[in-house]
Structure 1
Amino acid sequence: MFSLPPLLPPARATVKPLPYTLACVASVASGALVALATWYPGHWQILLLLLPAVWSRVRGHTSAFAIWVGYYLAGARDIPVVCMRFFSGHGELTRPEALALGIAFWIAQACVLATPWAILKPESNSSAARHAMCATIATVLVTVPPLGIIGWLSPAYVASALFPGWKAPGLVLGMTATACAAAVSRARFARRVATLLVILSLLARSVASAPVVPSRWTALDTRLGRLDQSSYASLYARTQQVQAIAQRAFSEGATVVVLPEEIVGLWRPAMGYWWRDDIQAFAAAKRTLIVGMDLTASRAPFRYTDSAVIVGPDHGRLDSRQPVPAALWRPGAAVSAIRGNPTQPYVAVAGKSVAFSVCYEDLLWWPHWRILLQSPDVIVSLSNSWFDSDLALAHIQHQGIAAIARLSGVPLLRAVNR
């Protein structure tokens, strides 16, 4: 006699994976909810402290990874649409190709930025000090290059909500708050430090004041859309539009006018001729124009800088320290923007020291290191949002540079083209 094998596998083999799967789904959802509450449509960056707190409590590297993947996927959810509009708008890819590329970028950036948090996740029985140290190291890794090149949505932004106007010490205290959030449920000492941080935060927020933009300085938002650089006729038409906008602002009493990033496109010899009379008139009237443009750096291979240029009685420029990866910054390609020197000093405009943020830099921390050490008189941000002005990304970008200005206690002047 022999017996037939059982028709069904043991019950434990079918139900055991379910709690694990639910735990991963819950982790992704918790990260996504924090992203939405912290960034657009939410505006509570203090909630970033929930991420290290939850991260320290979950079991296993996979759940730790899932929390941060959910956060970065939800926070950067516009990447597929942005890629579709940008690359198809410039005729480089079809809309389906650009959308597929955007989806790949979207998933890849979330995985890359979540990886340090997964690798550094301590065992559940590890000490509070180890959790605090690992949370601090992970925050630094996703904030500074090389990962910081795509270091948007950094947990370091919590510092601006907790310690406005406290500059570099405020950033250090904000990092300390992140470390405490990861350890507060594990050690009495961490809870004592957290209590001290709460007191310091209340003090910082009570004495903080809204910085004032210098008198007669104005930043102009435009609605000129994407610039067609395929012909001199289209370039001349854009030049006339931009000149009219600047002249109108000066006629209304402004002495310093800021125009958006790349608003006049690539600077050519013909444009120097078209702008010559206006620049001379600005200088004679002591009126300064800050305008975004691209400046040729080399011809073969073609390299250019995404720059903010000052003309009039003052002269100077600042080159973007990190042009948008893949869109503008393409190392090894035939055409690419190049990165400006991160140590570029402030530029003097109308007797004020000015720090600049050029478009993509609004989303990053590390290009602005000098602001937290040597306070300028004003931060000038130039952006060109013709491809994302109706998306959450445009709001998150503004939130990012506004947070840096708030932490540094410096007024922000921002010009955007839509």
Structure 2
Amino acid sequence: MCRDYLRPVLLIFASIAVGVVGWSGYMLLLPVALGFPVLWSIAQTRSVAALVSAGYFLAASRGLPQGVAAFYSSDIWPGLLLWLCASLSFVTVHTVFWTINARTRPFRYFLAVVVMSIPPFGITGWAHPVTAAGVLFPGWGWWGLGLMTAGLAGLVTRIWPAVAIALTGFWLWSAATWTDPKIPDGWRGVDLELGVSLGREAGLQRQRDMIATVRGAATDSARFVALPESALGFWTPTVERVWTGALRDGAATVIAGAALLDAGGYDNVLVAIDRKGGRILYRERMPVPGSMWQPWRSWFGESGGTRADFFANPVVSIDASRAAPLICYEQLIVWPVLQSMLHDPDFIIAVGNGWWTEGTSIVAIQRAATAAWARLFAKPLVITFNT
């Protein structure tokens, strides 16, 4: 009887360890997440598979309760509630697709991988093991993604030890030869340490400080300067005039985060500004569910919240180049980056505002995941965060 309980307990604790280590924020440890499908497949009952899935997901997203508490300046309980609710989609999908039938298990796990990559379940598809493709197969592009998907399916078969050994070989080779994504020529991403004030302090002095930061970063070799999400606060005609005037005597182009407000809510956007003026470059496809994206407001006739543009503007034109923008939360899920890669952009630009994640590994995970995708598709990467 004791042995009957020992195996499930060991599987659950192992799944927690895989979630903690794989999603610690160290890019070369992302392949540890591939231990999850193995543990899921060797669960002997559907209920144990559900607990293994919950252990992995909750461990991987462990920074959420503390981050939500900081974001709302509240106690830990709202964060815990959101943490548990977010795990429901992952657990539900992997519980429904689990099967004791070894012959159909690879196909069913493949379906789970796909379902957790695209909306609606992909909206909370964090900690997706397929993200490790960039570490195992850097530069292989769609072929690498295909091999990663096949490897995930192989890890839920009876020959999983052989598949694991093969994937480990790719992992070790990649770790020995690893190089970080390059920065595009002429670009510079500026990290800020302005905490909660970024985007909330909207005075003229803050804009002047940002302009001074851009002038310090812009050089003959860096004509494009990227600033984090929310760097400009609310995008208004006055803010546009201030920045256009400041850039009139130079050749620099600034890409910065801002909020575009109207009566129905607001868009989280990237703005491009140069001496000729400013324009909305990109509207965020998937804002943070719950804290930013609140679709239920419209059900009750209320306004507010951030709009989600879902599959809009996967690539944008900047000068003569085409970029794949990813704002904050989009770096944690799968479909925005894959949708952008379908259009073969020249580089990726990733921005975020992570002041609320202090004491967690969330920003480190965002950076690691984005860099892994950039390496998979051999794309240069511009990245900028506020903390």
Same topology, TM > 0.5: yes
- In the other structure, the counterpart of 1:5 is none
Secondary structure at the residue paired with 2:268? strand
Q: Give a deviation string over 1:24-65, Cα, whole Å, max 9, x none.
A: 432321111111221216542222222111221121011111
Query: Whole-Å Cα distance in 1 between the matches of residues 137 and 198 of structure 2?
Result: 44
Q: Confirm or deny: 8 A CA contact 1:165 1:208 kept in the other structure.
A: no
CA positional deviation for 1:363: 0.5
Name which of 170, 178, 185 aligns with 2:152.
178
- How many Å separate the matches in 1 of 2:104 and 2:149? 15
Q: 2:229 & 2:200 partners in 1: Cα distance?
A: 19
Query: Percent same amino acid among aligned pairs?
Result: 26
**Secondary structure of the structure 1 residue equivalent to 2:356:** coil
Three-state SS of the structure 1 residue aligned to 2:269 is: strand
Match of 1:121 in 2: 98
Q: Distance in 1 between matches of 2:158 and 2:275?
A: 55
What is the rounded CA distance, in whole Å, between the counterparts of 2:331 and 2:199 in structure 1?
25
Structure 2: gaps spanning 5 or more residues? 298-302
Paired letter, 2:52: I
Q: Are the equivalent residues in 2 in contact too, given 1:165–1:204 (CA < 8 A)?
A: no
Q: 1:45 is matched with which residue?
A: 30
Corresponding residue for residue 215 of structure 1: 185
Contact 1:319 1:341 in 2 (8 A): no
> How far, CA to CA, are the matches of 2:335 and 2:127 in structure 1?
13
Counterpart-to-counterpart distance in 2, 1:214 and 1:362: 19
The 1:112/1:66 distance shift into structure 2, 3 A limit, reads same
**CA separation of 1:410/1:230 partners in 2, compared to 1, >3 Å: closer, same or farther?**
closer
| AA matched with 2:196 | R
The one-letter code of the counterpart of 1:357 is L
Q: How does 1:151-166 map to 2 (within 5 A)?
A: 151-166=125-140
Q: Which moved more, 1:43-52 or 1:19-28?
A: 19-28
Which of 248, 259, 277 aligns to 1:280? It is 248
145-154 vs 243-252, which moves further: 243-252
Task: State the partner residue of 2:259.
Answer: 294
Within 5 A, what are the aligned runs for 1:83-102?
Answer: 83-88=68-73, 95-96=74-75, 99-102=76-79
Q: CA deviation at 1:341?
A: 4.7
Cα displacement string for residues 154-204 of structure 1 (whole angstroms, at most 9, x for unaligned residues): 121132222111222211211110000000438xxx95x778878888898
Q: Aligned with 2:308: secondary structure?
A: coil
Of the candidates 224, 236, 244, which is equivalent to residue 268 of structure 1?
236
Once the 2 structures are TM-superposed, how far is the Cα of residue 390 of structure 1 from its aligned partner? 3.5
Q: Is the 8 A contact 2:244 2:275 kept in 1?
A: no
For 2:210, the equivalent position in structure 1 comes to: 242
RMSD across aligned positions (CA): 2.8
Q: Which has the higher contact order (CA 8 A, sep 6+)?
A: 2
Cα distance in 1 between the residues matched to 2:339 and 2:89: 27
CA distance in 2, matches of 1:77, 1:87: 17
Report the counterpart of residue 304 of structure 1 in structure 2.
266
Structure 1 contact 219–259 (Cα < 8 Å) conserved: yes
Separation of aligned partners in 1, 2:166 and 2:195:
49
Q: Which moved more, 1:349-358 or 1:60-69?
A: 349-358
Structure 2 CA distance, aligned partners of 1:177 and 1:204?
16
| Equivalent residue, structure 1, for 2:17 | 33
Letter in 2 for 1:214: P
Aligned residue pairs, count: 379
Check 1:378–1:41 CA distance in 2 against 1; reply closer, same or farther (3 A cut). Answer: closer
| TM-score computed with the length of structure 1 as normaliser | 0.82
Q: Which moved further from structure 2: 212-221 or 314-323?
A: 314-323
Question: Quick check: which has more Rg, 1 or 2?
Answer: 1
Equivalence for 2:290: 326
Distance in 2 (alpha carbons) for counterparts of 1:313 and 1:274: 11
Q: Which secondary structure state, in structure 2, belongs to the residue aligned with residue 218 of structure 1?
A: strand
In the alignment, which residue of structure 2 is the partner of 1:3? none
Structure 1: 5+ residue stretches without partners? 1-15, 89-94
Matched, 1:363 2:340: no
Change in CA separation of 1:324 and 1:218 when aligned onto 2, cut-off 3 Å = same
**SS of aligned partner of 1:182:** coil
Written as runs of structure 1 = structure 2, the 5 A alignment for 1:48-59 is 48-59=33-44
Aligned-pair CA distance for 1:349: 2.3
Paired residues of 1:164 and 1:205 also in contact (CA < 8 A):
no
Q: Which residue of 1 aligns with 2:300?
A: none
* Alpha-carbon distance between aligned partners in 1 of 2:95 and 2:72, rounded to the nearest angstrom: 33
Secondary structure in 2 aligned to 1:46? helix
Distance in 2, Cα, partners of 1:228 & 1:212: 27
1:215 partner amino acid: D
1:121-162 per-residue CA deviation (whole Å, 9 max, x = no partner) reads 212xx23x3111111111112221111101110121132222
Quick one: which of 187, 194, 209 aligns to 1:224?
Answer: 194
Q: Could you tell me which amino acid in structure 2 is paired with residue 306 of structure 1?
A: N
Q: In 2, Cα distance between the equivalents of 1:268 and 1:251?
A: 27
The answer to whether residue 355 in structure 2 is matched with residue 386 in structure 1 is yes
Which amino acid in 2 is paired with 1:224?
L
1:62 pairs with 2:47 = yes
Confirm whether residue 351 of structure 1 aligns to residue 300 of structure 2. Answer: no
Once residues 41 and 388 of structure 1 are traced to their aligned partners in structure 2, the CA distance between those partners, rounded to angstroms, is 13
CA distance in 1, matches of 2:322, 2:240: 26
